[in-house]
Structure 1
Amino acid sequence: MLKSGFHPIASGHVAAVVTHLHMPRPTLAPPPPDVPLRQMRAPDVDWYRDLFTRVGALDWLWFSRLKLDDSALREILTDERVEIRVLERDGQAEGLVELDFRTGGTCELAFFGLTEAVQGRGLGRAMMRAALHHGFARDVPEITVHTCTFDSPIALPFYMRSGFVATRQEIEVVPDPRADGTLPQTAAPHVPYMPERGGIAG
């Protein structure tokens, strides 16, 4: 456990506060979605990376799936316990819902988000209803999700309004994905890019 106070972050790294949330299975099943989500079975890795990047990498520093090579990413995308569902507009995927059933008989809402092109239309609420419907369709006891301070500031209150309850928080320290070229240095401008710093000046 970290003690109270400031803790230096190594050069070339970034830190985030991660909030873990869960939603127990409701007594009544979530209603059928009013916005259809198309299930993508074994999608192409380049197609997935493009959507992942447009939804969360450039604005919010999503990078975990971009670090994986083709083989590792394909293994996830072809696993029957992972559901990739998308919201489409004008023939293009603009929303991503990824449901991961691989751990402990539960469901993790691994990734959830909309591209900037379709934000502000109320689609997030409709997409969440669809995500919960599909998640609980497999008769799991709960759905979990986590978000962090790399993410949009509206993400955490949105999850809580949707019925998720925060259960714990952690500090995550990771190599800055902008330092090795995984993401451009202009990505996520709300997270300072300081690859040469030697800890935190106070």
Structure 2
Amino acid sequence: MLEDGMHGVPAGHTASVVTHLEMKALPNQRVEAELDLELMPVPAPDPEWYLDLFRKVGAPWLWFGRLVVQPVELKELLSDARVHVHVLRDRGEDVGLLELDFRQDDECELAYFGLTSGMVGTGAGRWLMNRAIALAWAQNITRFHVHTCTLDHPEALDFYRRSGFTPYKREIEIAPDPRLTGLLPRDAAPHVPLIA
């Protein structure tokens, strides 16, 4: 347990406040823009393809969770029938990632949800979230949960709350900076100072 006050972060690391959110019932669908997008399930995706999309979507926000997983473990995870990976496509181009994890009984974790930079602000996020919620609750779950952090898009937390998620817990995450470990380019997420 952290005591009140400021706490140093080791050089070469990032620190973020993580907010956990949940919904325990299917919310009313929010109004979405009419967009010509396609959401495609990708059963047992090729790990190289998956990591390429993961970086494309997540590098601006320093996503590193899947980049530190050993290749054999990642292949196992992506091959698990209870992990549902979907790709959002715009005119044939991969522009978004949706990963729903049903490995806990009666629950679904919104493990990864994001868009490429060019799609942010177009209404594609609402379009994708409406489908994520429908896909999750179609599986007879009792709880749908997600977490976001202060390294994510500044509107992410409010977006999840508007979507029907309620915050229930906060944590501090300290991790090696993925730009310094070589997992992401050094110029990723320029809004987060690189402190070696």
Q: State the match for 1:51 in structure 2.
A: 53
**DSSP-derived class of the 2:147 partner:** strand
What is the CA deviation profile of residues 147-188 of structure 1, one whole-angstrom value per residue up to 9, with x for unaligned ones? 001111110000001111000101111111111111111111
CA distance change for structure 1 residues 27 and 90 in 2, over 3 Å: closer, same or farther?
closer
How many angstroms apart in 2 are the aligned matches of 1:178 and 1:24? 37
Q: What is the letter of the counterpart of residue 47 of structure 2?
A: V
Query: Deviation of residue 51 (structure 1)?
Result: 0.7
Greater displacement, 176-185 / 106-115: 176-185
How many angstroms apart in 2 are the aligned matches of 1:26 and 1:175? 37
TM value normalised by structure 1: 0.89
What is the CA deviation profile of residues 121-161 of structure 1, one whole-angstrom value per residue up to 9, with x for unaligned ones? 21110110000000011101010000001111110000001
Counting only pairs closer than 5 Å after superposition, residues 13-24 of structure 1 correspond to structure 2 as: 13-24=13-24
User: Structure 2 unaligned runs (5+)?
Assistant: none
**DSSP-derived class of the 1:170 partner:** strand
How many angstroms apart in 2 are the aligned matches of 1:174 and 1:27? 34
How many angstroms apart in 1 are the aligned matches of 2:12 and 2:115? 29
How many angstroms apart in 1 are the aligned matches of 2:119 and 2:168? 31
CA contact (8 A) 1:36 1:130 kept: no
Residue 87 of structure 2 corresponds to residue 86 of structure 1: yes
**DSSP-derived class of the 2:66 partner:** helix
Q: State the match for 1:11 in structure 2.
A: 11
Q: What is the letter of the counterpart of residue 90 of structure 2?
A: R
What is the CA deviation profile of residues 49-78 of structure 1, one whole-angstrom value per residue up to 9, with x for unaligned ones? 111111112x10001111223211111111
Greater displacement, 1-10 / 144-153: 1-10
Percent identity of paired positions between Structure 1 and Structure 2: 48
Residue 153 of structure 2 corresponds to residue 146 of structure 1: no
**DSSP-derived class of the 2:49 partner:** helix
Query: Deviation of residue 93 (structure 1)?
Result: 1.6
CA contact (8 A) 2:110 2:145 kept: yes
**DSSP-derived class of the 1:64 partner:** coil
User: Structure 1 unaligned runs (5+)?
Assistant: 196-202
**DSSP-derived class of the 2:195 partner:** coil
Aligned pair count reads: 192
Q: State the match for 1:199 in structure 2.
A: none
Query: Deviation of residue 36 (structure 1)?
Result: 4.5
CA contact (8 A) 2:17 2:172 kept: yes
CA RMSD of superposed structures (Å): 1.8
**DSSP-derived class of the 2:191 partner:** coil
Q: State the match for 2:127 in structure 1.
A: 126
How many angstroms apart in 2 are the aligned matches of 1:62 and 1:27? 28
Greater displacement, 115-124 / 140-149: 115-124
Would you identify which runs of 4 or more consecutive aligned residues in structure 1 move more than 3 Å? 33-36
Q: What is the letter of the counterpart of residue 54 of structure 1?
A: K
